[in-house]
Structure 1
């Protein structure tokens, strides 16, 4: 059995900033398949050219395509081309999980993997190899006798059972952090919070599953031998278990695993846990990504953040004590947002003095509570515009042009401030706000 895994091109925030990291989900699937003895080729269109229009997909028995919303139009065309070549096509990822019925009815693929894919996809490939057209595999959906057959997806309970992600092509990635060659890893899955604009709790579950500290350290040892000096922990919420974070940091120090790193956190998990923040700083943490979202508490309530805006200043001041920078994220365009509340948020972001500030336009991604809430108001049909920089639904207070103007103005206000203009400034704005379409449809 020959398997081809494809990560379609993305033109989102991080791509525009040059922060392109290996797709861990597909890399885990790749290593899981190779562990079973299958021949696997992996293509990431973000870092390598792939002429899918003329490619002979018939050379492979199975083609697996990762799909999130903004990349769906490209993934759709690739799937159509692969199907035309007579191979078995499988789609997975957040968008495919949310819209598996529509995708299957359209005949874009033969199977959809729902949620986590390592076991489900691996079991599916085995079934295909055994000529089983209608397998009974949890987390797999397909059309059978005109109806959609699906068994509920299953979460992997013991993450230590998974082989480390396959990093055969890491040489293609040039991302750096704090001056060091950088890559990503994940130490847990799941998020207990339910922010209405986020799909993490739906896709990975609301119950957190952790890898053991020993297992994470073993992977870090491999990354150190590969020449990495920087890592990004892509957990949805790295700091939710302070004791575990302290244990991991202490073990990194004991094993002399010196990395410069950043992770994702929540403001309310930091104050009151000085031992954790101190341990993180000693172990190389240089930055935390924190979603402050808005300066207006009514907007925060709408988002389901369960936070007050004032905590942001205390958190930034606290982290600076330990020389940890803040990557502050804000979302504009809430239903309760007005021009006044957005201007308030922009002024708030300027005063916060974070090292990096990110603004996004509220986007109802499929699979989120926000999508269900606003789907009757969605007017944009082009999934490529579900990238956090476009208004895609009918807003009660703004037109698409008005909100886009406020969005650009927000970045201009922050990055032309005296404090940041020489650190990031105009070149940063140009990279961030310029769309690059590398692949035509």
Structure 2
């Protein structure tokens, strides 16, 4: 989808969608496939979609959407059907996985023929096989499909065996233009899943509380492939790459041994993981890791307890020290807007980030994502101010209030303290939600 998280400037950051590249890499070889990543056509959206439908004349279109992108996916599906009614459209991604029953039972599901629930590589491959008449629709786990005006929901699919997945297809991308700070950017994953119990996160609805890893050999092949296609920066998309710290240390060593430390890397990591090893940050630096999105989340013991994070402030301080001692830049993850927050609580977090010399602020206002424990808590306390307009569920907009602050207060205070403490604020453009529809 073309929708992006507004905290990340499109002037400096355009990242490819790894999921659709992986889907393309794991269908049957005789199928023709092309990847149209609409983040590259934000300002020329519908003409670009119309042209690729005319040029490629697809039998099927797959759309992948996060929750805040779902409305765009639905509108695009309607538009595609106006171009050619015979095109079949499959919807996948987090929102489809979380909300398939609601989508299927409402008008939101009208433009879709298939809903892929959970990981999509095997399910999408099976859909194409069924479309060719090579298998029965009812026998495809993880699929919801249209029959007689409604949807039938097949049994869930078990998690993918990562040892059997082929490499993503980067060679079938229609457009180019992925970059970070002017250098070509690509995405690679070394693992999937997280065993943590953070109640603001919907990840466990996709993977359960599991952690699966790729072999180092496969990861090195993927890095070689990304490099072959021009990548100079790599973002590891792992949900929690520091869940197994010894493995991450060994991965850093393997990157150096394979000569892939000529690339520069961006990772997201937990403070507990970084703080647990005095040598991990050293190995990360030697491997070429340059930027770490660090899940600090909040500095209030009360708020950390609400998020099922535990009291981790001392670990956070140690993690920051380890990273900065090895010249690694930190994007500090911060979550604001908890039930008891007052202005001084908002200010406390920014003051901590400032004193700790956090390089970039990655703050967001807590969002009541569908099917999360945090949403249930906030709904029960009457603190959700926007329960249904998912277009604003991107961490930038205030969809909640606290017992002391309105949504408008939260929006203003986020702006106020970002402006006061973050040097990055002045380089971040005003967010515009419009596309060239």
Q: Same fold (TM over 0.5)?
A: yes
- TM-score, normalized by length of structure 1? 0.88
SS of aligned partner of 1:39: coil
CA separation in 2, counterparts of 1:180 and 1:99? 37
Is 1:76 aligned to residue 70 of structure 2?
Answer: no
SS of aligned partner of 2:416: helix
> Within 5 Å, which residues of 2 pair with 1:240-251?
240-251=243-254
Contact 2:37 2:175 survives alignment (8 Å): no
- The Cα shift of 1:260 comes to 1.6
Contact 1:57 1:87 survives alignment (8 Å): no
- The Cα shift of 1:394 comes to 4.9
SS of aligned partner of 2:127: helix
Name the structure 2 match of 1:166.
Answer: 169
Is 1:268 aligned to residue 272 of structure 2?
Answer: yes
CA separation in 2, counterparts of 1:192 and 1:70? 25
Contact 1:114 1:140 survives alignment (8 Å): yes
- TM-score, normalized by length of structure 2? 0.89
Indicate how the Cα distance of structure 1 residues 128 and 324 shifts in structure 2: closer, same or farther if over 3 A, else same.
same
Q: Which moved more, 1:65-74 or 1:122-131?
A: 122-131
Is 1:86 aligned to residue 90 of structure 2?
Answer: no
In structure 2, stretches of 5+ residues that fail to align are none
Name the structure 2 match of 1:326.
Answer: 330
Show CA shifts across 1:110-151 (max 9, x none): 211011000011101111221867432111113446564221
What is the total number of aligned residue pairs between the two structures?
421
Name the structure 2 match of 1:4.
Answer: none
Name the structure 1 match of 2:31.
Answer: 38
Name the structure 1 match of 2:346.
Answer: 342
- The Cα shift of 1:225 comes to 2.9
Name the structure 1 match of 2:98.
Answer: 98
Indicate how the Cα distance of structure 1 residues 170 and 342 shifts in structure 2: closer, same or farther if over 3 A, else same.
farther
Which of residues 431, 434, 437 in structure 2 aligns to 1:434? 431
Contact 2:142 2:156 survives alignment (8 Å): yes
CA separation in 2, counterparts of 1:281 and 1:55? 44
Contact 1:9 1:439 survives alignment (8 Å): no
Show CA shifts across 1:196-249 (max 9, x none): 111122213311110001110111122233332221111011122122222222
Name the structure 2 match of 1:63.
Answer: 61
CA separation in 1, counterparts of 2:79 and 2:431? 29
Name the structure 1 match of 2:185.
Answer: 182
Name the structure 2 match of 1:388.
Answer: 395
Contact 2:89 2:113 survives alignment (8 Å): yes
> Within 5 Å, which residues of 2 pair with 1:293-304?
293-304=297-308
- The Cα shift of 1:308 comes to 2.4
CA RMSD in angstroms, aligned pairs only: 2.4
> Within 5 Å, which residues of 2 pair with 1:273-312?
273-312=277-316
CA separation in 2, counterparts of 1:183 and 1:63? 23
- The Cα shift of 1:388 comes to 0.9
Show CA shifts across 1:44-66 (max 9, x none): 11103442685695932212111
Which of residues 250, 253, 256 in structure 1 aligns to 2:259? 256
Which of residues 112, 116, 119 in structure 2 aligns to 1:109? 112
CA separation in 2, counterparts of 1:329 and 1:170? 33
Which of residues 227, 238, 241 in structure 2 aligns to 1:238? 241
CA separation in 2, counterparts of 1:371 and 1:68? 17
Is 1:124 aligned to residue 161 of structure 2?
Answer: no
Indicate how the Cα distance of structure 1 residues 253 and 57 shifts in structure 2: closer, same or farther if over 3 A, else same.
closer
Q: Which moved more, 1:140-149 or 1:211-220?
A: 140-149
Indicate how the Cα distance of structure 1 residues 303 and 124 shifts in structure 2: closer, same or farther if over 3 A, else same.
same
- The Cα shift of 1:11 comes to 5.0
CA separation in 2, counterparts of 1:174 and 1:37? 28
CA separation in 2, counterparts of 1:365 and 1:15? 23
- The Cα shift of 1:354 comes to 1.1
